[in-house]
Structure 1
């Protein structure tokens, strides 16, 4: 059982319609908007009908989701339209301002005469230390299914500033106004990445549609891929792909506890992390707390007192390429896993090999199974999705739970992790970490159990490689403690210019209910 403890990471109580096609330049706006297209559909959502316009015109749409309702069902005549008339008919709004920029069609409300529109993202700029900050909000969705894309990377091109989308696909990005002429980059494994000028996204909450990437066969040389060799090359190339010098990372961290699908506790924080190089291990990392707040459902918490311990420490441990790396990354030194090359996908236009791994059938300890995404050219590990093997998950309960009441039975049900890295000037840094731990809770003498969900998540919002100084001892946060024990008043404007992970609708609703009850 000692070997299992070494391999487990959780000391826890523990729009823009974008489609893959050649872009054609047609001259000025009038020429483009007067071009005729034949629409074959006469009924559908605004999204579906604009998708057909995009498919037939070769132009991609950017619009404010508060101006154009994606989900509204409309009915139009099945006939030939000019591009302009098609947009007016689908949106049922002939007062839209339509502008052609490159291969994009921008839709927004017509401005009143004599009003100068300043290229500012959102209306509000926040002042701090004489720097103006601009806020951009948006949602990432799948171009085929229309489903939200969780954990999509959102950042400023050629910059260390970024964030990720939440499980509902929503994101919020705060940038200095000095970067207004930069490009916003959106990416996710298996999708075509997109780049959009920030100055186009004026006062809008944009729904960005990412197109799943299809790799044409002529681009792929079919050959046998040895997964052990891929992993070995990944390991040998760490010195080229990952930083071996310390950096400072500004990170947003949050952890929560849900019982019976209702939120009991939510703790959020902005952390500054002194992150050592890949060879130093997790023990040398240091954390300083910048801001924090906690929301607790006191009434519900009285029925089940649950706290998460070492969530921040677990997040640091999940930087897989550092220090005492988990066994599934090194098949040459560990015989507990079997590997296979399961797929080829793409990230940021680069081919990525997918290596699936699973623990041996003869091994009954609670180890892992999952997928590793490794760049086919430079051998960098860009993402890992894995879980404690479901066949042995119950045996992990005692490792995950530090202490439990004798009146309550708790059994581990599912434990999953997501770890991703992003490149900055050719060097990969930790980008996003999330752990979800699901349990079944049953009180003594009760027949049925209830679900308990504990989770933690951290996103790298900015990386500073110019600062390698350590923190003073009195500034360091003890990462192994129960982080949520410090309480702060909830404030909707609390985070100011810091980048954060947006709260999902369900979580936000739960939090508002808690605040209302406690008030």
Structure 2
């Protein structure tokens, strides 16, 4: 009988070149732009580079290989695309320039300087961080926002994909000032799990899209920086950086000691003018195995012990007017599963990410029906199936699959096609 291991997410948790390819699908009313964002000197992919259409809320994110797919309605064909990446100057170009052109576009690393006045505005980095969280409501809108987002969840055993889930979800994002929690509704979704590769332990993520939404530390600061825990961290200024041609403070944080069971270390990127959080990259301190053993696990068999090897988190925000909105987040958990009477341990990596691809101020015409609402305890892999239709997503923007994920999708489709052929053959013979 298959045993289950359920993981619960704890969030208390310079030159570059953009290669663009153009393809047109006029019948469906939108145009697809494929490309890749890489560092021009090292050729390293610029993971999570942001691409958005000017004067709209349409956007997408590059995958871990720097590749992207951006779907733009044809009525925006005269618009401009904005390409941005932390530490680089933002590049803006007309969509029309991309048609039929494969010419690389160079992005330059931003040279960032802070005036003495800006640096001396705070006596230390901790006072800046306190100010950011005290004023978090000032930099966010007071209205609820209806967001469309793409969510992907993968589980790997070593380097092989054993589970893949993708979904378009609707998010009713509540204001930071509201005590109401965000609501997520399931739109389109598909998944496949090869339980044979998972062996006798079935690894699942509890929370699904909520695991990424709860990384929004401006909405849910209690998961990482409470009034009590903020004093337990050491904050220091790093070299300033740039995002979307705006200067940002860079603040490093590390635990002063290990008085809490859960400790994090990472970087916070804060807009100099508005003091809004622009981005946060951090990781769980897993150095103390006794302290973190089974930390990320909600349910497991008695003869199994789970040791986190790495837990990495990221959240990004985008500016619209003078307000900042949740835009993207991801988590990556690598852990070792030790089972009694087994010589070799199993190593799994569980990743989930979500990118907001469109949004609007919430109105009565946008609702998430009760039957579509997900529970924060949802295990989304248990609820959906699919992968047979290559045009499944239609006009929805999504995160372009990595090659390993695309290979898994192709294998799934071939398997489905073979199964259909066998069924048809049996029907004819019958």
TM superposition score normalised by structure 2: 0.86
| Deviation at residue 349 of structure 1 after TM alignment | 1.2
Partner of 1:411: 307
1:317 and 2:218 are equivalent in the alignment: no
Q: Matched residues in 2 for 1:62 and 1:260: separation?
A: 31
Corresponding position: 1:368 with 2:261: no
Residues 1:441 and 1:515: Cα distance change in structure 2 (over 3 Å): farther
Question: Is 2:240 aligned against 1:344?
Answer: yes
Q: 1:144 aligns with which of 6, 28, 41?
A: 41
1:431 lines up with 2:327 in the alignment? yes
CA change 1:396–1:191 in 2 (3 A) is same
Q: CA deviation at 1:313?
A: 1.9
**Aligned residue in 2 for 1:178:** 75
Secondary structure of 2:64's counterpart equals coil
Cα separation, 2, equivalents of 1:494 and 1:313: 23
Out of 198-207 and 449-458, give the one that drifted further.
Answer: 198-207
Q: 1:433 to 1:247 in 2, by over 3 A?
A: same
Q: RMSD of the alignment, in Å? A: 2.6
Partner Cα distance (2:409, 2:18) in 1: 32
User: Secondary structure of the residue that 2:137 maps to in structure 1?
Assistant: helix
SS of structure 2 residue aligned to 1:232: helix
Distance 1:206 1:361 in 2: 51
Distance change >3 Å, CA 431–CA 166, structure 1 → 2? same
Give the corresponding residue for 2:428: none
Task: Quote the offset at 1:359 in angstroms.
Answer: 1.1
What residue ranges of structure 2 are gaps of 5+ in the alignment?
1-8, 419-430
Q: Distance in 2 between matches of 1:290 and 1:415?
A: 28
Partner in structure 1 of residue 161 of structure 2: 263
SS of equivalent residue, structure 1 residue 343: coil
TM-score when normalising by structure 1: 0.72
> In the TM superposition, what are the counterparts of 1:269-284 in structure 2 within 5 Å?
269-281=167-179, 283-284=180-181
SS in 1 for 2:51: strand
Post-superposition CA distance 1:263-291 (Å, at most 9, x none): 1111100011111101224x531112110
Kept after mapping to 2: 8 A contact 1:393/1:413:
no
Matches of 1:177 and 1:416, distance apart in 2: 38
Alpha-carbon distance, 1:260 to partner: 1.9
Deviation at 1:487, TM superposition (A): 3.0
- For 1:412 and 1:205, the matched residues in 2 are separated by 43
User: Given that residues 60 and 398 in structure 2 are in contact (C-alpha distance below 8 angstroms), is that contact kept between their aligned partners in structure 1?
Assistant: yes
Count of aligned pairs? 404
User: The residue matched to 1:248 in structure 2 has which SS?
Assistant: strand
- Cα offset, 1:463, TM superposition: 1.1
Name the structure 1 match of 2:287: 391
- The aligned counterpart of 1:441 is 337
Aligned positions of 1:101-500 closer than 5 A? 121-127=22-28, 132-203=29-100, 208-215=105-112, 220-221=115-116, 223-224=119-120, 225=122, 226-281=124-179, 283-328=180-225, 334-363=230-259, 365-392=261-288, 395-467=291-363, 470-490=367-387, 491-500=389-398
CA positional deviation for 1:62: 7.8
1:110-160, CA deviations, whole angstroms, 9 ceiling, x for partnerless residues? xxxxxxxxxxx5122352xxxx11111111111322110001111011211
Tell me: CA distance 1:209–1:300, structure 2 relative to 1, closer, same or farther (3 Å): farther
Contact 1:248–1:274 at 8 Å: present in 2 too? Answer: yes
Structure 1 counterpart SS, 2:299: coil
| Larger relative strand fraction | 2
The 1:139–1:357 alpha-carbon spacing in structure 2 relative to 1, beyond 3 Å, is same
**Is the contact made by 1:422 and 1:430 (CA closer than 8 Å) also made in structure 2?**
yes
- Residues 171 and 502 of structure 1 are in contact (CA less than 8 Å); yes or no, is this contact kept in structure 2? yes
How far does residue 191 in structure 1 lie from its aligned partner after superposition?
Answer: 0.8
- Structure 1 unmatched runs, 5+: 1-6, 12-17, 20-50, 52-60, 66-120
3-state SS of the aligned residue for 1:299? Answer: coil
How far the C-alpha of 1:445 sits from its partner, in A, is: 2.7
Name the SS for the 2:278 alignment partner.
strand
Q: Deviations over 1:385-427 (max 9, x none)?
A: 0111132366334331122233433211110100000012221
Contact preservation (8 Å) 1:143, 1:211: no
Decide whether aligned partners of structure 1 residues 209 and 447 sit closer, same or farther in structure 2, where only a CA change above 3 A counts.
farther
